[in-house]
Structure 1
Amino acid sequence: MTNAANPGSSSNRILKLLIFLMFAAFAMTTDSVGTVIPSIIKEFQLGLTAAGSFHYATMSGIGISALFLGFLADRLGRKWTILIGLGLFGLSSAAFAVGHDFTLFVVLLFLSGLGIGIFKSAALALIGDITGSTREHASTMNLVEGFFGTGAIIGPAIVAYSIQQGASWKWVYLIAAMLCLVLIAGMVATPVRRHEVRAEAPASAGQSLALLRDPATWIIGVALMLYVGAEAAIYVWAPTYFTGYDGSLAVLAGYVVSIFFVLRAAGRFVGAWLLARHDWKRVIAICSTGMAALFVIALIGGRDVAAVALPATGIFMSVIYPTLNSTGISCFERDRHGSIAGLLLFFTCVSAVLAPLAMGVVGDLFGTEYTIVLGGLFAVALALLALWTLRRDPLGARLDARNQSIPSEAH
């Protein structure tokens, strides 16, 4: 089994900090896309569909590497896999400085997505190695996603400031590359206990895909897809929904995505505290129900009410994704954490591509408000699934067994 270090050791505290910064670094680039796209449209005379390649290229790269390369963390070890992924992500980001061609940028974003998928799967597996219980795992994951949320705020701010100063939007990628170099040095210098490969069934793409036969994978995977669909309604389509709105809260509506990201980031730090004290099922049920209620209120009340209700969903959404992710990973043995982390990341990426696309189609057919309607349906479906999970507890036995085995693995 995995020979994990003591959860309280100083090296593990350093590793957690490095992982926090990794998530902030790639969030700076992935969540800056909405701010970069208007400049891309203007510079290359693109339509919306073509410009959207900046989003789809990265998500496709992450999804492909998560599905087919997530097992590397279980085969090569967490440290080497993280270094490979960071190297690919850093080089791809730095390469934005060498040319100014749209096709080149799309290729670089795809490669950076491959790198993100590789090191993210390994980093998620490493978190499972260095935490002492499933509850601590969930709490740590909320801190990780809190740093991701911070990067999601910093990245667009860098792009906006660069453009205001007459500089290039590329600076967000170059800064991410420089941060990546620091992270690589930190990972090289920090000791990580060698991950032991399972002799009877070493990790492979086939072994990873075999986890799709496990009901736990689908319970968490479907929940993640529903969450991502609801989230996309806010950060992808809410600005379009408020286009032309000149009501009393027009100023607030203009910052709907920024407010959403701030509330989501703040909520994830609170979520770490909350999950350290309360059962994950109850927390998810309350938060998903609160999120769904805000969507319904926004749709009933119109854009005046939606200007407040939609960004406020960030408070409830903040806890959901990291908790579902950590719970899904915790359902499996540590020498399969890289594989399951990759699969769950694949579910996330599929929804990140298909859900906004479906909302765009629905919006074109019936009106922009229906992008929010579809997001609300995703939110309600997630709330129903969470309430069912609270009542039936389908993962309880698995998590109890994992908690009992962790002391023997973490030594």
Structure 2
Amino acid sequence: MSSATTAAVSREGYGLVTFLVFGMFFMFGMTTDAVGEIISIARGELGITNTQAAAFHWATMVAIAFSGVALGFLSDKIGRKRTIVLGLSLYGIASALFFAGTSFRLYTLLLFVSGFAIGIFKTAGLAVIGDISSSTSDHTKKMNAVEGFFGVGAIVGPALVVFLDQSGMSWRWLYIIAAMFCAGMVLAMARTSFPPTAGTGEEKPGLTHTLSLMRSPHALGFSLAIALYVASEVAIFVWLPTFLENFTAEGMTGFFAAYAVMIFFVLRAGGRFLGVAVLSRFDWKPVLALFTGIIFLCFAGSMAGGQTAAVYLLPLSGLFMSMIYPTLNSKAISCYGKSDHGAVAGVTLFFTAASAALAPLAMAFVSDRFGGGDLRIGFMLATGFSLLLFAGCVFNLLRNPAGPALERADVLEY
């Protein structure tokens, strides 16, 4: 076989790998980001409180956090392909078992297993993005693209739950559909060649090495920023439907109130694909500072203007949230060698999931404890998260602490 033919085969194979990674993110975005709509239905169906209903979200996120930090190194050790197939298989089995019963405890257990599986295949998927990138900038663009597919899944999932509910069908069918996606992707990946993992790392992959990376300034700094971003984001898709539950309005305001989370997800998904173009023209640091400032203003304006303002401003924040997470995640991972990308992805995923689990739970607690169930109190807490995120991005703009590490990675890794 000629070198030209070999290159063509490689490009075709990597294109299929990229497509499958995009599909994987679409699939689990479809389930995890539908949790707000599921909670609004299951809360009445099971007769549970806000704090109990939050388990539909935190059970998955706690498991993702544990899996990310405990097994993030797995793809660096046994390979990306094996790790992804393992994670998807476990996720598909857990999803298929949602029809095994109707108890709150069973759902919580299955959501925990699902989260554990996500931690396995997502860290491997993020590592694959590094393997097929040509520079740290290219890595950031690809990360925005893959998160864009996650965002599309986050649009389809809630819409599907609403459709199922209006059709008199159980929301649990969402997980059966996810199980079928998993089966198809496992079969496809079994026949796909993955790119080789390259890198200059000297440490052997393992939990001890992953824990050492958690103390590394770049991994820790970006991970804390990610945690603040996630705390702001999940506030909207987890609790906005409940916050607007008794809100009534006509005309455009009524439309926005009825489809607030859907509009948020549409703007977030579209903004992530737009982020690829924005990052091709502007430096990422001032863009992050500007966009996080606008996000804070959206939260602050919602608190000042009440539900009527929140109907417009909180969904609008999705457009500016779009590129924050994939860019922060990309820069954190790109600061390190490709042989460490799975482990670093596990670190950032730990902070992502821990924040996604604890922040909505904290919002539910302060709302129940200090507001008698009024989620406006919880959204005041989320406004504080968005302010801290903005402050961190301003610091990053002024000091550029990761600049030397990213420059070094461009030379040594790409």
TM-score (norm 2): 0.92
- Show CA shifts across 1:99-119 (max 9, x none): 433322222211111111000
SS at match of 1:90: helix
Contact 1:233–1:372 (CA<8 Å) still a contact in 2? yes
Greater displacement, 159-168 / 213-222: 159-168
Contact 2:227–2:351 (CA<8 Å) still a contact in 1? yes
> Which residue of the partner structure matches residue 402 of structure 1?
409
Contact 2:54–2:364 (CA<8 Å) still a contact in 1? no
Contact 1:75–1:197 (CA<8 Å) still a contact in 2? no
Deviation at 1:197, TM superposition (A): 9.1
Indicate how the Cα distance of structure 1 residues 197 and 127 shifts in structure 2: closer, same or farther if over 3 A, else same. closer
Instruction: Tell me if 1:205 matches 2:207.
Output: yes
Contact 1:7–1:131 (CA<8 Å) still a contact in 2? no
Structure 2 counterpart of 1:191, one-letter code: S
Q: Which runs of 5+ in 2 are unaligned?
A: 1-6
**CA root-mean-square deviation:** 2.1
Indicate how the Cα distance of structure 1 residues 259 and 197 shifts in structure 2: closer, same or farther if over 3 A, else same. closer
> Which residue of the partner structure matches residue 281 of structure 2?
277
Deviation at 1:291, TM superposition (A): 1.1
In 1: Cα distance, 2:8 partner to 2:413 partner: 11
- Show CA shifts across 1:117-165 (max 9, x none): 0000000011011100111111111111111111111112222222222
Contact 1:18–1:183 (CA<8 Å) still a contact in 2? yes
> Which residue of the partner structure matches residue 302 of structure 1?
306
Instruction: Tell me if 1:388 matches 2:390.
Output: no
Structure 1 counterpart of 2:98, one-letter code: F
Structure 1 counterpart of 2:398, one-letter code: R
Greater displacement, 395-404 / 238-247: 238-247
> Which residue of the partner structure matches residue 320 of structure 2?
316
Deviation at 1:296, TM superposition (A): 2.3
Contact 1:143–1:269 (CA<8 Å) still a contact in 2? yes
- Show CA shifts across 1:158-214 (max 9, x none): 222222222222211111111111111221111113437989531001110110221
Structure 2 counterpart of 1:295, one-letter code: F
Deviation at 1:242, TM superposition (A): 2.8
> Which residue of the partner structure matches residue 173 of structure 1?
175
> Which residue of the partner structure matches residue 31 of structure 2?
29
In 2: Cα distance, 1:16 partner to 1:286 partner: 30
> Which residue of the partner structure matches residue 257 of structure 1?
261
Deviation at 1:344, TM superposition (A): 0.4
In 2: Cα distance, 1:36 partner to 1:90 partner: 19
> Which residue of the partner structure matches residue 143 of structure 1?
145
- Which residue, out of 371, 378, 385, partners 2:385? 378
Greater displacement, 171-180 / 187-196: 187-196
SS at match of 2:323: helix
Q: How does 1:6-405 map to 2 (within 5 A)?
A: 9-195=11-197, 201-247=203-249, 249-364=253-368, 365-366=370-371, 367-405=374-412
In 2: Cα distance, 1:322 partner to 1:231 partner: 13
Deviation at 1:42, TM superposition (A): 4.0
Indicate how the Cα distance of structure 1 residues 115 and 164 shifts in structure 2: closer, same or farther if over 3 A, else same. same
In 1: Cα distance, 2:305 partner to 2:199 partner: 55
In 1: Cα distance, 2:212 partner to 2:8 partner: 30
Deviation at 1:247, TM superposition (A): 4.8
Contact 2:335–2:406 (CA<8 Å) still a contact in 1? yes
SS at match of 2:345: helix
Contact 1:285–1:386 (CA<8 Å) still a contact in 2? yes
SS at match of 2:193: coil
SS at match of 1:23: helix
Contact 1:233–1:375 (CA<8 Å) still a contact in 2? yes
Deviation at 1:69, TM superposition (A): 0.6
Identity of aligned residues (%): 43
Structure 2 counterpart of 1:390, one-letter code: L
Structure 1 runs (4+) deviating above 6 angstroms are 5-8, 196-199
Structure 1 counterpart of 2:231, one-letter code: G
Contact 1:6–1:130 (CA<8 Å) still a contact in 2? no
In 2: Cα distance, 1:146 partner to 1:140 partner: 10
Deviation at 1:323, TM superposition (A): 0.5
Contact 1:136–1:276 (CA<8 Å) still a contact in 2? no
In 2: Cα distance, 1:52 partner to 1:362 partner: 13
SS at match of 1:313: helix
Deviation at 1:32, TM superposition (A): 1.8
In 2: Cα distance, 1:137 partner to 1:357 partner: 33
Structure 2 counterpart of 1:325, one-letter code: N
Deviation at 1:271, TM superposition (A): 0.6
SS at match of 1:276: helix
TM-score (norm 1): 0.92
Greater displacement, 54-63 / 34-43: 34-43
Deviation at 1:308, TM superposition (A): 1.3
In 2: Cα distance, 1:133 partner to 1:7 partner: 22
Contact 1:74–1:197 (CA<8 Å) still a contact in 2? no
Deviation at 1:283, TM superposition (A): 1.8
